[in-house]
């Protein structure tokens, strides 16, 4: 078993619970979780925070496909553990369960507090955007970073 906590399904489980905790009652898609998680980790680039929680990284936009596969595994685990509820409505949608909320309430570290703050800003800023519009925003930021 790997002892690495970074870039693992377990790390995605924790961040997904935090993100779903601030997302409100409406269930959201895996794509939306991936995109909002990415925006939250790089909040300064999206004018949501003073710094990027995951540092400054020139190849960060390449992380999205890896995050999606990690998130799929993480969400399966969270559903099995009863921490995330799943709804079927034109695809699978996810929300935090009461068990997941109780688990998140136990988090006591600076990173989780910072992540909650930035992710709440991301959820609020982009609440009226569709998943497709959010992906277009990510793509435009990616092109800007390539062009310099």
Q: Is residue 30 part of a domain?
A: yes
Q: Residue 89: its pLDDT value, please?
A: 86
User: Taking the chain (148 residues) in consecutive chunks of 10 residues, what is each chunk's mean pLDDT?
Assistant: 63 95 92 95 93 84 85 96 94 96 95 96 96 93 77
* Domain membership of residue 14 as a residue range: 9-147
pTM assigned to the model: 0.90
Q: Is residue 86 part of a domain?
A: yes
Q: Is residue 3 part of a domain?
A: no
Q: Is residue 22 part of a domain?
A: yes
What are the CA-CA distances from residue 17 to residues 53, 61, 92, 99, 144 (Å)? Answer: 17, 22, 16, 11, 30
Tokens matching residue 29: 């898609």
Q: Is residue 4 part of a domain?
A: no
Q: Residue 78: its pLDDT value, please?
A: 98
| Cβ burial 58-91 (10 Å sphere, 16+ → b, else e) | eebbebbeebbebbeebbeebeeeebbbeeeeee
Q: Is residue 48 part of a domain?
A: yes
Q: Is residue 16 part of a domain?
A: yes
The count of other CB atoms within 10 Å of the CB of residue 139 is 12
User: Domains in the chain: how many in total?
Assistant: 1
């Amino acid at each position: 078993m790997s002892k690495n906590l970074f870039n693992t399904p377990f790390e995605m489980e924790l961040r997904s619970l935090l993100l779903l905790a601030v997302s409100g009652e409406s269930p959201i898609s895996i794509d939306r979780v991936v995109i909002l998680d990415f925006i939250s980790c790089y909040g300064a680039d999206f004018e949501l925070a003073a710094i990027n929680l995951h540092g400054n990284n020139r190849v960060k936009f390449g992380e999205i496909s890896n995050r999606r596969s990690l998130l799929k595994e993480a969400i399966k685990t969270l559903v099995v553990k009863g921490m995330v509820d799943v709804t079927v409505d034109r695809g699978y949608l996810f929300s935090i369960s009461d068990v997941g909320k109780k688990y998140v309430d136990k988090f006591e570290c600076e990173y989780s507090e910072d992540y909650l703050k930035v992710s709440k800003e991301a959820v609020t800023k982009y609440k009226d955007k569709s998943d497709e519009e959010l992906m277009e925003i990510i793509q435009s930021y990616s092109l800007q970073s390539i062009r310099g």
